[in-house]
Amino acid sequence: MIELERHRKELAGYCYRMLGSGFEAEDAVQETLTRAWKTFDPERGALRPWLYGIATNVCVDMLRSARRRARAMDLGPAAEPGADLGVPIPYERWVYPMPDQLMDPAELAISRESVRLAFVAALQHLPPRQRAVLILRDVLAWSAAEVADLLETSVAAVNSALQRARATLPATAEPRLEVDEDLLARYVDAFERFDVDTLVALTHEDAVESMPPFAWWLAGREAMRAVLVASGGEGCRGSKLVRAGANTFGQYLNGEAFAIVILETSGGLIRGTTTYLDPNLFPLYDLPMSFGGPDRK
């Protein structure tokens, strides 16, 4: 079992890209390891490809009856400042994040763009097997022959599936991979003081902001300024941001878990903000449910 556990984090990254949810990826990895522990036979091949084969089958099974996960920007046009948030959309419709600490650090250093919310959301447009082929070939750099062996098909079929997947994959914005520590520090300081002018100044003019589980989202920093001013700080004043990943923070409101905030940065500015209004994410990031009080994980 120890040998199996060594592959947990890389399998988590693969399953996350397949499923679009950190919670479901964890479930898929656990099921994969359980099946492997019961069935692995060294005489039938190496362990790693065996695990990926099981993980692929588990993910495909989980996707059979699932609806495509998406971001707010995929669901409709940007909201006008002052518009109501609307009705929350069920959890299973959203692309959810995956904490860095649950994935392989070496893999993240090479291909962090492949776990951006925009890229993972784009993957959800592909049929499950095409999705697996594209991830294995273009993200994890497996050979066509290795993928063919895993999927029990031909190299020609793998190359055909990859070509179709690349043609179908929706275009996404350029990767926003920078971890700009100075920018993040200034953003956190302005956010906790609810300094609207500074928050807007740190934001790109074409930035986007969304707040799952609501389909409501904003386009442009002037729309963001209007919403911040109109809110008077509701949902922000009294907040504390605690680092939870490269560009990720846990937001505590009046000391209680409130939201997970993911920032995309480039060129010294904030390009995108996704605020998951879901305290249930805090344990996934190993964050306590309250800040400055007893640990209530």
pLDDT in the model for residue 279: 94
Q: What is the pTM of this model?
A: 0.87
Q: Where are the domains of the chain?
A: 1-83+102-168, 181-285
| Residue 106 vs residues 100, 101, 142: alpha-carbon distances, Å | 11, 11, 16
Q: How confident is the model at residue 113 (pLDDT cuts 50, 70, 90)?
A: low
The SS3 call for residue 282 is helix
Q: Does domain 181-285 have CATH number 3.10.450.50?
A: yes
**Residue 142 or 113, more confident:** 142
Of the pLDDT bands very low, low, confident and very high (cuts 50, 70, 90), residue 232 is: confident
Q: What is the pLDDT of residue 57?
A: 95
Identical fold, 1-83+102-168 and 181-285? no
Q: How confident is the model at residue 107 (pLDDT cuts 50, 70, 90)?
A: low
User: Is residue 110's pLDDT more than 90?
Assistant: no
**% of the chain with per-residue pLDDT over 70:** 90
Mean pLDDT for the chain overall? 88
pLDDT tens per residue, range 131-145: 999 999 998 999 999
pLDDT score of 170: 73
Length of the chain: 297
Q: Which residue has the tokens 């693969």?
A: 14
pLDDT band at 5 (very low <50, low <70, confident <90, very high): confident
- The top-level CATH class assigned to 1-83+102-168 is mainly alpha
Residue with tokens 């878990």: 257
